[in-house]
Structures are given as structure tokens and as C-alpha cells.
Structure 1
Amino acid sequence: MFGYLCSRHLLLGKHRRTTLGFLPKNGFFIGKSFASVGLSESNEKLEEKEPSFAVSYFINYCGLSKKSAILASQRVRFRTLEKPDSVLNFLKENAFTNTQISRLVKIEPRLLLSNPEKTLLPKIEFFRSMGASSSDLSRILSSNPSLLIRSLEKHLIPCYDFLKSVLILDEKVVTVFKRSKWIFCMHNMVPNIALLRQVGVPQSTISFLITNFPSTAFVKHTRFAEAIHEVKEMGYDPSKTVFVNAIHVLLSMSRPKLESKLEFYRRWGWSKDVALLAFKRHPNCMLLSDKKITKAMDFLVNKMGCSSTDILEILQFYFSAWRRELCLDVQLFRF
């Protein structure tokens, strides 16, 4: 650490004031900025002939690997130390962990050139106004750093306004921000929601789709329309929640993969009609891995002696138990 601090001082040798950001400790960054005694002749400008400085900064103060640091340094140039140091301090003060800060900087190194008070704080306050907790904030923003780069007035607020008009509750809006990275694909979501309403999907079911499967609601409109048409052709009722579940499944897997999954069920003695009926009643069963299906069917068919008809009757409870990672035992059949 001492060697790195000395090298940093040498890089800024022409200036009498040195600002040090998060000081490396145990291989990472912890600490506060401080200044040495003396007047500054000018802002701490980095010499462009020292490209290695940015790489060192990303490694020692942001926790990036050497490879990631090199890539990040190619996307941004530090003209002063003041901004990157102040941004790191700001993030720490707002409960971002070291890991989350590293992720933010790795994906959006431009953040280090931001003005914390003018650019970052208003967005933090915007999410807090929705009721997002500190843990929600750090999770949302570290998962989708572009939220801190996008314009508050042109992107974040319009996006929030539309989601609020559909979901009503701020709590659900926060959930969507946590679950989807495609939050700005409103040009797809708006016509998708309009189409759902057009075919008779109730408001409560639309809210269910956006909250639980936001990535599905943001897909390209042509694909979304095709999925709706296919689901209707299969006989799903738009007034039922299973309608949007089926849309989600169709948009989550390719046609060959779906056919392969149906074939996998047929290997356990199901006819094509029974496999399709299972999909129609409980479309999410197609998203289970082959390993989980094998374990489930082995228990039901080989150990419990269930027929395909029996399995269809208990499928809803059975797969719900798997999703909750509960242990399946005989009590399941007494439910």
C-alpha cells in the first residue's frame, strides 16, 4: 500500500495538494479523502502520458481485476482526482458495499466523472421517494448502473409514471426496477400492455405479469404479439392468470426447446395429449430442468405408483413445492 501511495504522489508531483480516495486495506478500498498541507496551484490534473494511473486507480480503489481495469480505463479519462474520489465516498455513504461499487464502476466507469450532489443524489432521492429502502437502492442500482447515467427527467420519471399508472402501488414499481434490466424498453412495453387489454386480460393479471415477469412485458412487440396469438390458439382463457404464465413460458424458451421438454415428459409414459394438457394447466412446469423433472417423476411414478392422470391432479401442488424448495414426501398427497 505504501508503495502505491508513493507512486500516486509522484504522478501528481507538480501539485502541492494530493487527494487520496478509498485507501486500500486488505486488498480493497476503505477510507476517506484527505489533503496534505499546502495550497493547490490548480486542480489535480493527471498527465495523459501516464495511462497506467487510471488502471491502478480502478484496481486499488475500485476493486477491479486488471483486465476489467484496463477495459474501464479505455472508456473514461480522469482529468482530476476530485470527482472519482467524491463519487466513491458518496456511494459508501449511501450504503453501497465494496462488491456493489466494483460492479457499478466495472459496468459504468463514467460514473466516476459524475457530480455526486447534482447528478447522483437526485436519482437516489427519486428512488427513496418511491419507498425504496437502502438495501433496495444498492441492489437496484448495482444491478442496473445505467439508471445512474440516464436522465431523471427524460427517462426515469416517465418510466415511473407509466409503471405507476399500471401497477398503482409504488411497492410494485420498486419490485419491477429490482427484477428487470430492460426497464427503459417502454417503446415495447406500452404496446404490449395495450394488446393484453385488447384481448381481454384483466388489470390484475397485467399487474401480475409486469411484477413477476417484467422481462416478458418488455420484449419486442412483434414477438409478444406472436406469443399472444399462439397462446390463444392453444385455448388459454385471457381472463385467467395462466394466460400470461403461458406467454412468459413461450417467450422464455425456443420452440425446439419446448418440443424437447414435451418429449422429455413423454419418456415417462405420458402421451402427447397428456403432455400438452400439463402444459396448458401448468405452463411453468416446462421451465423446470430435466434433472428436477427426473427426480420428481421418479418419485411419483416409480415410488408412489402414480399414473399420468394422478400426476396432473397434483401437479400444481407438486411443482409449487419444488419452487419453494420444499422436501417432497407423502404429506404432499394428503394436501
Structure 2
Amino acid sequence: MFRIVCKTSVNRSTKHWTTTNPKLTPFSRLFSTTLNPTDQHSFTVSFLVNSCGLSLESAISASKLVNIDSAEKSDAVINLLKSYGFTKTQISTLISKRPSFILSNAEKILRPKIEFFRNLGFSGSDLTRIIVSNSYILASSLSNTIIPCVDFLRRYVETNENVVYTLKQSTWILRRNVDKIMVPKIDALHALGVPKAHINRLIMIQPRSLILPMKYFKEVVRSVEEMGFDPKRRSYILAVKAMTKMTKATWDKKKEIFMSYGWSEKEFHSAFTVQPMLMLCSEKKIRELLHFFIEKAGFKPSEVAKCPNLFLTSFEKRIIPRCAVLEVLFAKGLIKKNLNVIWMLNVSKKKFEVKFLTSYLEDAPEIIKAYRGELGFHGFGKCFKASK
């Protein structure tokens, strides 16, 4: 039956649509001609496709939740979003996630919320990105949810700039009663002796850690304590951040990768204690660096474990170029074979360049190409003797 109706509509309307909408694609033109202007459901689907950019499938699905009876009100929503820099794709995504937005009062409901975030400090792509990726922001009450949450954050992180930074880490807190959920965890950290400045830092860099269920939060804090972290040191907060950023299954999987490359339990514990952010590296990067350090460069697993900061550096921009420079210098006999190479990868950019580029440029001009990544790294081979 539906196919018969579509065919009839196409025959009756093809001329009208092809002449008044020359820019429509053949598919959209065909779809548009199947809609009877007097059919409210068809009008809704048509508007969602042609004005909002939804796919036919998404539009049909959305039409079950909304009924557009006037293009004027919905056009006002689209024009408002465009005026704030939302792209066609972003508008389509936003409406697909929450079709009810297209029925909102653009001036009374949407504009005040967008203006609030813009005045707070979000602008340009940051403004549109945060709203599209967290569409519930426009569905939340400005006076009862958004403003109280921002006021709460400002009491701890003080400036609007810091509030913006915090919300970029997680806008999930805008969906929570922050006073009720976050304060008990903040009080718990205070009781453990964590300085206020460090707690405020945790709120900024990992606000979601403080909206976790209290049971899980206590388990994390207990684990951090058992590892020997000092509550008064900044590393304590970084450890809490790292452990609340992933599930236990993900934690165990990453740990297993380190162990599979020869790290002992003690070495893993020591590396995490020195650099908690180590565990925030992706599984791919962890595996890639371990393979490079141990299999290609020839370092001992214990040597790598002593320099966990290397996992936070760029593999392509730092590790490989430096190894390539040292490979050239080793091959020419310009540096001692017992040099602790892994620590040379860990020194500052300025110190490395002064020690190995400036000092040996005349004797080995090719190190410039090596440092630029033009020579690559082939391994130290027999020219390198691992440090003891």
C-alpha cells in the first residue's frame, strides 16, 4: 500500500519539486515528491531531511517523537544555531540525538543557555563542540541545574577560565547534584590529609572521579594508599585520576602488557608510583613503545621501568629522532658505548641538543638529518652496549 501511495505522489508532484528545488539530489528529490503537504507526519519527515540534514531513516525515527506543525518555529531554531556557528553536520547530529530541540522556543529556551556558556568563556568551535557532544546541556534547566553547578565549581576552581577547563574534561557533572554527590568525596580527601589545592586540581583535571559511586571511589582511594602514595604530594591526586579514568578490566589489561614484556610486579608498582599518568597511555602506545625499547633498541625491561616518563613523550618526534642521532654517533665512535642511552632520551630538548648536536655537528653533519627523522632508526646493534 505504501509503495502505491509513493508512486502516486511521485507522479503528481515531480514537476513541482524538480522546478522549485533544482539543487536537490535525485534521492532527496524523489523522497520529497513522496510527501503529501497535507500529511503532518510527512511534513515533519520532509523538514527533518531537507532543513535539518537528517537521513531518511533518522528522520522517520525522529518523527515518531516530534510533530512539526509549523516550519516558522523550527526554522528559528536552525537559524539560531547557525548564528552561533553550528555547522550543518552539527545541527543534524544535535537534532538526531534530541529531536525535541527542533520544537524548542529558540529565544526563550535555547539562546539563554548558549549565551550563558559563551559568556562563561566558551567560544567558537569549543562552544559548538561541547553542546553537540553533550546535547543534554540544552535540555537541562539553566536556573536549577546549570547555574548551580557552575557556581559550585567556581567556589573551588575560582576563575571562569578554570571552570571552562573543568567542563571540557567532563560535562557529565552538569547532570548531577554536585553538592550532594561531590562534597562527601571532597570531605573524604580532606580527612585523609590531601591539601585543598590538590583537591581543587583533581576537580579540574578529573571531575568525573568525584561523581563516581562512593563505594568505588573508596576502593580507588584505598588502592592508592596501599601503593604508598603520600596524600600531601601531587602524585596522589594523579594516581586517583589515573585509576578513576578507566575500568578495572582496562587497568588489568594494560598492566598485563607491561608484564608481558618482562616487567616484574615490583617494577610495575615502582613505575606507576613515579609516573601515575603512565596508565593513561593507550594500549597501542604502551605496546608500541615497549616493543621499540626492548626488541629494537635493546634496553632491558628493568631499564625501561625506571623511566616511565618516556611513555608520555612523542614516539615520532622525540624517541626515534634521538635514537637515530645516537646511532650515528655510536657508529662513528664519537660517544662511549656504555652511555646510559635511555636516560638521554629522558633529558630536556635543550640539554640533548647541546650535548649531542652542537658538540658533534662538525664531526658528524648527518646527525641533523637523523634528528629531523630523515634517516630513521635501525637499531644500535653491536655498537651499543646496554648500561648496567
TM-score (norm: length of structure 2): 0.69
Please list the CA deviations of residues 272-328 of structure 1 after superposition, one character each: whole Å capped at 9, or x if unmatched.
111222222223323333432232122222343333442233221x12214x86341
Distance 1:247 1:62, change over 3 A: same
- Alignment identity in percent? 38
Distance 2:279 2:150 in 1: 33
User: 1:21-36, aligned counterparts within 5 Å?
Assistant: none
Q: Which residue of 1 aligns with 2:382?
A: none
SS in 2 for 1:326: helix
Contact 2:286/2:311, CA 8 A, preserved across alignment? no
Question: Which is further off, 210-219 or 149-158?
Answer: 210-219
Match of 1:321 among 313, 327, 330: 313
Q: Which amino acid is the alignment partner of residue 132 of structure 1?
A: F
- 1:231 deviates by 1.3
Distance 1:166 1:24, change over 3 A: farther
Q: Which residue of 2 aligns with 1:226?
A: 219
- 1:197 deviates by 2.4
| Aligned-residue CA RMSD (Å) | 2.7
Distance 2:165 2:318 in 1: 28
Distance 1:255 1:206, change over 3 A: same
- 1:269 deviates by 1.8
Please list the CA deviations of residues 234-264 of structure 1 after superposition, one character each: whole Å capped at 9, or x if unmatched.
2111222222222233233333443333232
Q: Which residue of 2 aligns with 1:120?
A: 110
Contact 2:192/2:231, CA 8 A, preserved across alignment? yes
Question: Which is further off, 169-178 or 188-197?
Answer: 188-197
Which one has the largest radius of gyration?
2
Contact 1:139/1:178, CA 8 A, preserved across alignment? no
Q: Which residue of 2 aligns with 1:215?
A: 208
Distance 1:326 1:265 in 2: 23
**Equivalences, count:** 298
Contact 1:24/1:61, CA 8 A, preserved across alignment? no
Distance 1:84 1:275 in 2: 57
User: 1:91-240, aligned counterparts within 5 Å?
Assistant: 91-183=81-173, 184-185=175-176, 186=178, 187-240=180-233
Distance 1:299 1:118 in 2: 58
Q: Which amino acid is the alignment partner of residue 196 of structure 1?
A: L
1:57 aligns with 2:70: no
SS in 2 for 1:127: helix
Match of 2:73 among 78, 83, 88: 83
Contact 1:227/1:247, CA 8 A, preserved across alignment? yes
Contact 1:189/1:217, CA 8 A, preserved across alignment? yes
Distance 1:24 1:139 in 2: 32
Question: Which is further off, 61-70 or 157-166?
Answer: 61-70
- 1:87 deviates by 0.5
Contact 1:55/1:66, CA 8 A, preserved across alignment? yes
User: 1:303-314, aligned counterparts within 5 Å?
Assistant: 303-314=296-307
SS in 1 for 2:172: coil
Distance 1:206 1:255 in 2: 23
- 1:53 deviates by 1.9
Question: Which is further off, 189-198 or 272-281?
Answer: 189-198
Distance 1:334 1:90 in 2: 51
User: 1:207-286, aligned counterparts within 5 Å?
Assistant: 207-286=200-279
Distance 1:241 1:99, change over 3 A: farther
TM-score (norm: length of structure 1): 0.79
Contact 1:262/1:276, CA 8 A, preserved across alignment? no
Q: Which amino acid is the alignment partner of residue 315 of structure 1?
A: P
Match of 1:332 among 314, 326, 345: 345
Distance 2:22 2:183 in 1: 47
Contact 2:271/2:307, CA 8 A, preserved across alignment? no
Distance 2:234 2:347 in 1: 26
- 1:5 deviates by 11
Q: Which residue of 2 aligns with 1:14?
A: none
Q: Which residue of 2 aligns with 1:17?
A: none
Distance 1:120 1:315, change over 3 A: same
After the TM superposition, list the runs of 4 or more consecutive aligned residues in structure 1 that deviate by more than 6 angstroms: none
Distance 1:70 1:312, change over 3 A: same
Q: Which amino acid is the alignment partner of residue 102 of structure 2?
A: L
Name the structure with the higher helix share.
Answer: 2
Question: Which is further off, 90-99 or 125-134?
Answer: 125-134
Please list the CA deviations of residues 35-74 of structure 1 after superposition, one character each: whole Å capped at 9, or x if unmatched.
xxxxxxxxxxx86x53122122111111112222122212
Q: Which residue of 2 aligns with 1:15?
A: none
